[in-house]
Amino acid sequence: MTAVRACRVLVLKRDRFDTAIQNDAALSSRVMRNFIEILARRVADDNVRLREFVQDVSAYRSTAAGMESRLKLHEQRTELALDLVVASGGERDQATHQMDEQILAQAPRVLVVDDEPDFRDLVRRTLSYCAVREAADGQQALTALEQEMVQVVVTDIRMPVMDGMELAKNLLRLYPALSIVGVSGFVGPDEVEEATFGGFMSKPIAVTDFRALIEVALDNSS
């Protein structure tokens, strides 16, 4: 049985309330103290939320700055390479196509493991600056990694054949330096072992937060 704390609640009409606090100094003092305490708690809560918001904005700006810096570097290298091709008498269109293939080959590599094709497609579109590979379960993921290594694995928790928990344990044993990010619409962060996953996000994912999480995972893998 849940314990219930007893309290006194006095309900008065506005005019009677005004009269009561005017005629009773002690009551007026208690009312004012209660109002001040309520306002103080609200101000404290607002300050906490404001600090958290400022921290989130700072983290997003830092992530965006890192991505922008990498994009500018890629653009500069691409333009320089294309200028060299044209200067040597080559075709710019053909060189552009070859350059795109080379850039994709050098892009951060991410493997998304999920039995839902729609979610895999969402991750591919969200991480358009990465070379994203796909697997429908943990066993397929292990097979894919034998053929091509990646920097980050994004895995669902509940899947057929081999779930995300078992996959993560296998990955840590086989590839200790690999960054692993867990996602789930059924399992909460409290149920995921921190030592197993470098990051976790509940479904449905927030795109901006997810990109920031992947950026951290990529930095940790390098």
Q: pLDDT digits over 196-213, tens only?
A: 898 999 999 988 899 999
Whether 100 is in a domain gets the answer no
pLDDT at residue 137, rounded to an integer: 96
- Are residues 39 and 120 located together in one domain of the fold? no
Whether 45 is in a domain gets the answer yes
Number of domains present in the structure of the chain: 2
Which residues of the chain fall below pLDDT 70?
1-18, 20-21, 56, 58-64, 66-67, 70, 74, 77, 81-82, 84-90, 92, 95-105, 194-195, 222
DSSP state of 60: H
Whether 24 is in a domain gets the answer yes
pLDDT at residue 59, rounded to an integer: 67
- What is the domain extent for residue 199? 107-222
pLDDT at residue 102, rounded to an integer: 67
Nearest to 86 by CA among 75, 78, 95, 77: 95
By residue count, the chain amounts to: 222
Helix (H, G, I), strand (E, B) or coil at 14: helix
For the chain, give me the number of helices (H) and strands (E)?
7, 5
- Are residues 147 and 215 located together in one domain of the fold? yes
Distance (Å, whole) CA 133 – CA 153? 9
Helix (H, G, I), strand (E, B) or coil at 90: coil
pLDDT at residue 14, rounded to an integer: 59
The beta strand positions in the chain, using DSSP E, are 109-113, 131-135, 152-156, 179-184, 199-202
Distance (Å, whole) CA 29 – CA 22? 10
Cis peptide before 204 (omega within 30 of 0): yes
